[in-house]
Every structure is written in C-alpha cells, then in structure tokens.
Homo-oligomer: A and B are copies of this chain.
Amino acid sequence: MRRPVFRTTRRIEFADTDMAGIVHFANFFRFMEAAEVEFLRSRGLSVALPWKGERLGFPRVAAACDYLQPARFEDVLVVTVKIRRIGRKSVTYGFEFSQNGQIVARGKITSVCCRVLEDHQLEPIPIPAALRRRLKSV
C-alpha cells in the first residue's frame, strides 16, 4: 500500500530560538507533536480522544530527531508526517522538516494507546480497530 504523506507548515517564532540564534533543538519535538495533532485532526482523531465513553491518550515511549541544518526566526518549515509503523498498541510517526528543498531535520515519535484512568493514570490497551482503520485511511 502506498502511504501518501500529510503535509503542513510551521513558522519559527522568536521564543523558539536560543542564544545561538537558531531554533532550540528541544522545540522540534513540540513541532512534531503539533504536526501529528494536525494529521490526526485531518482524520477526525486527536492525541486526547474521547472513545466510547472512555478517554484515550497517547503518551510517548520514544522520540528522536536528527538535525541537519539550523532553522532560524521567521523561517517557514514544510513538515511532512508519515505513519511508519502501527503495532498492536503503538504507533510510530516519521517527520521531516525542510526549507527550500533542503532537509532541516528528521524525527520520529512512538506513542502507546492508553486508557486514561482517574488521577491521570494510564493503562496501555490495543488500538481499537475503528481507530486503527482511521489512522490507516491515508
């Protein structure tokens, strides 16, 4: 199956930069998450999701990023989101940030599908079939 790519953009804000004059590396993880949320929204989903009387959350179990070029204030990055793997309980997304055709950064995030219990406790569960279908409906 060919998986078309979800694409959005992100404009760098002043508060995203650090004293090196470039985007602070930790912020790319916020950018990935925001792109993931946009991707999910385009499928009627979210990272905080009411689901058949329960609440689902997707805490992260792994995140990584490679930085190829610095990004700077007012840069408008193109962000692509791909599902790289859907396991029984987890999803792995791949992200690519680029500008003027040059890759700025590449990252990935793995989340686990969880029921959100009282007091913010989290219990991993298999991804519901209907949700899995929507994730794949790209």
A66 to chain B, nearest CB (A): 5
The A interface is mostly helix, strand or loop, or mixed, namely mixed
- Determine whether A138 belongs to the interface, using a CB cutoff of 8 Å to chain B: no
B63 near A19: Cβ-Cβ < 8 Å = no
B64 near A25: Cβ-Cβ < 8 Å = no
B33 near A20: Cβ-Cβ < 8 Å = no
Number of copies: 4
A120 to B46, CA, bound (A): 18
A34 near B13: Cβ-Cβ < 8 Å = yes
What B residues does A61 contact at CB under 8 A?
66-68
A44 to chain B, nearest CB (A): 13
- Determine whether A60 belongs to the interface, using a CB cutoff of 8 Å to chain B: yes
A41 to B64, CA, bound (A): 26
